[in-house]
């Protein structure tokens, strides 16, 4: 594995059984992400985007092959070990923000840090730093229902990177936003990736945003191929 490769999928296969049929979704995927790199995953619905993201994010086990994170083979680890890696080293952002409605923006970002074991004062300082970086520090004490869609998604991005992960996996992170807000949120996400050295894989149907990333890939017959 090259020194700057953060995550690598090696000959990964993923199958599902429907009745008497075995559906092959990922068919020997070889793919890697480098430090500070943003890669757009552009593919039609039903081609396996979510399966690829879930497998790369250790939410699903590969049926064959392996997922290497910072040189460590992760595909066959125990559930507890995989959970710890997801908590510490992998950030997730979805189309819907999934913020906890009863907590403020800053508290939502503090939550994964508290779960990791950080003292509340440190977690709050880090959360405020991220809110400031995302240019919404003034909204820190507002609950999700009091935030705009773009603000909610920026809080979700800040929460995803609160524990300084190695990898960010995003599934249509701007899919719910109007074009102007989507562009603004993407700019904030891009700046965060560049500044922190994250490796980011972002599934999107937005071809304009995809063209602004370092590489574009798609899924074809269960393989990841360049676009």
Q: What pTM, to 2 d.p., does this model score? A: 0.89
* pLDDT tens digits, one per residue of 71-124: 999 988 999 999 999 988 999 988 777 899 999 999 999 999 999 999 999 999
User: Are 104 and 155 in contact, with CB atoms under 8 Å apart?
Assistant: no
Cα 43 from chain centroid (whole Å)? 17
User: What is the pLDDT confidence band of residue 3, given thresholds at 50, 70 and 90?
Assistant: low
pLDDT (tens digit per residue) in 174-211: 888 888 888 888 888 888 888 888 999 999 888 888 99
Is pLDDT of 147 > 90? yes
- What pLDDT sits at residue 152? 92
Q: Rounded to the nearest 10 degrees, how much is the dihedral formed by the CA atoms of 131, 137, 139, 140?
A: 70
Question: What distance in Å separates the CA atoms of residue 88 and residue 165, rounded to the nearest whole number?
Answer: 6
**CATH superfamily placement of domain 37-49+78-226:** P-loop containing nucleotide triphosphate hydrolases (3.40.50.300)
Question: Structural domain boundaries of the chain?
Answer: 37-49+78-226
């Amino acid at each position: 594995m090259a020194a700057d490769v953060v995550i690598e999928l090696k000959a990964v296969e993923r199958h599902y059984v429907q009745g008497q049929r075995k559906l092959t979704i990922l068919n020997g995927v070889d793919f890697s992400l480098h430090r500070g790199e943003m890669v757009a995953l552009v593919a039609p619905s039903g081609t396996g985007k979510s399966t690829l993201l879930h497998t790369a994010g250790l939410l699903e086990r590969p049926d064959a092959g392996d997922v290497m994170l910072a040189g460590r083979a992760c595909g066959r680890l125990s559930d507890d070990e995989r959970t710890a890696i997801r908590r510490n080293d992998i950030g997730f952002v979805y189309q819907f923000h999934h913020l906890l409605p009863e907590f403020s923006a800053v508290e939502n970002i503090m939550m994964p840090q508290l779960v990791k074991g950080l003292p509340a004062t440190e977690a709050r300082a880090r959360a405020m730093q991220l809110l400031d970086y995302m240019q919404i520090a003034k909204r820190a004490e507002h609950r999700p229902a009091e935030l705009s869609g773009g603000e909610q998604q920026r809080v979700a991005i800040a929460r995803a990177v609160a524990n300084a992960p190695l990898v960010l996996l995003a599934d249509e992170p701007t899919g719910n936003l109007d074009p102007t807000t989507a562009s603004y949120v993407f700019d904030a996400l891009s700046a965060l990736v560049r500044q922190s050295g994250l490796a980011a894989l972002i599934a999107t149907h937005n071809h304009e945003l995809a063209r602004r990333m370092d590489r574009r890939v798609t899924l074809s017959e269960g393989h990841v191929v360049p676009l």
